[in-house]
């Protein structure tokens, strides 16, 4: 484990983060990997990244340190749900499906779904803030979509935090 | 020259793991090889300074276009992406001594 500026997360910090993520996960239908030793190591990684960058960057991916570029991989990342659907676990295996939790499916090391730097740049350029191309509907409110869990909110601005997955306002995109 | 960390064991080939110090699958890969008593080198890319990290990432992407971790390079030419020790052993067994 890295010792950035001598920082070693304490057992207390690890436990606190683990309990917080576990509670949030269970409240919204997600599950943490039951392998507590493995998950504690990931908590350590998340805490180290929090110290390094100021946000919980995915422990299994190399962060750039630029929040604009790293936002899609702030835990929980934009790729968690599709990976849960396809492989039964997120890329780091922090989150697993109920099937994996019950031991009916095995979760392993899975392929990286996150687009590379050039692809991400291209997507960002195309999107910007406005509604998706071709969408012209006379709705009384714009609709915002949480990129982490798909939650939709019809209101003037996205909510401060996603009520479902607790992702921050910046993780929302204009949907309609 | 970027420093590689060495883990002692039986030398079955030139094994270099590009890893992150914070990543669970990287840790499993290192630990599994260690438990098998196989010697390897590793570089924790997240602990490098900016320019060094850029340089190493160029090499990683040559082997693994996604630039993901762990990327395990064997004898400078074979590559295994992710935690997959069976694959590593298979490659080692098929390599001429
Ligand atoms: S959800 Fe999993 S893969 Fe995504 S950032 Fe968190 S630990 Fe990493």
The CATH number for A146's domain is: 2.20.28.10
Q: What domain range is A56 assigned to?
A: 11-102
Mean of all residue pLDDT scores within chain B? 95
| Residues A90, A143 within the same domain | no
Q: How many domains does chain A have?
A: 2
Contact call for residues A48 and A54 (beta carbons, < 8 A): no
Between A49 and A133, the higher pLDDT residue: A49
| Residues A138, A63 within the same domain | no
Q: Give residue A63 CA to ligand 1 midpoint distance, Å.
A: 13
pLDDT at position A2 over 50: no
pLDDT band at B8 (very low <50, low <70, confident <90, very high): very high
Cα–Cα dist A119/A114, whole Å: 9
Length of chain B, please?
A: 97
Touching check for A8 and chain B: CB below 8 Å?
no
What global pTM score does this model have? 0.90
Touching check for A17 and chain B: CB below 8 Å?
no
**Probe ligand 1: pick from A45, A53, A94, A149, max atoms within 8 Å of CB?**
A94
| Residues A86, A47 within the same domain | yes
Q: What is the pLDDT of residue B26?
A: 98
**Probe ligand 1: pick from A17, A62, A95, A109, max atoms within 8 Å of CB?**
A95
Domains and CATH numbers, chain B: 5-83 (3.40.30.10)
pLDDT band at A3 (very low <50, low <70, confident <90, very high): very low
| Residues A35, A75 within the same domain | yes
């Amino acid at each position: 484990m890295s010792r950035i500026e001598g920082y070693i997360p304490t057992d207390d910090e690890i436990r606190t983060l683990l309990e917080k993520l576990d509670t949030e996960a269970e409240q919204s239908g997600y599950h943490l990997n039951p392998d507590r030793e493995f998950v504690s190591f990931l908590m350590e990684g998340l805490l180290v990244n929090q110290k390094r960058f100021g946000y919980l960057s995915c422990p299994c991916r190399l962060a750039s340190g630029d929040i604009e570029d790293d936002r899609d991989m702030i835990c929980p990342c934009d790729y968690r749900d599709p990976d849960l659907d396809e492989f039964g676990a997120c890329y780091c295996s922090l989150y697993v499906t109920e099937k994996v939790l019950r031991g009916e499916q095995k979760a392993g090391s899975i392929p990286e779904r996150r687009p590379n730097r050039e692809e991400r740049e291209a997507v960002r350029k195309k999107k910007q803030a406005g509604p998706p191309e071709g969408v012209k509907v006379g709705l009384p409110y714009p609709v915002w979509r949480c990129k982490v869990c798909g939650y939709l909110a019809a209101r003037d601005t996205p909510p401060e935090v996603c009520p479902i997955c607790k992702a921050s306002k910046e993780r929302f995109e204009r949907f309609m | 020259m970027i420093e590689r960390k060495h883990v002692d064991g039986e030398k079955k080939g030139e094994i270099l793991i590009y890893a992150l110090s914070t990543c669970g699958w990287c840790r499993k890969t290192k630990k599994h090889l260690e438990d098998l008593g196989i010697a390897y080198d590793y570089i924790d890319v997240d602990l490098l300074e900016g320019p060094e990290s850029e340089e190493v990432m160029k090499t990683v992407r040559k082997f693994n276009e996604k630039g993901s971790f762990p990327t395990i390079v064997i004898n400078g030419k074979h590559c295994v992406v992710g935690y997959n020790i069976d694959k590593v052993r298979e490659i080692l067994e098929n390599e001429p001594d």
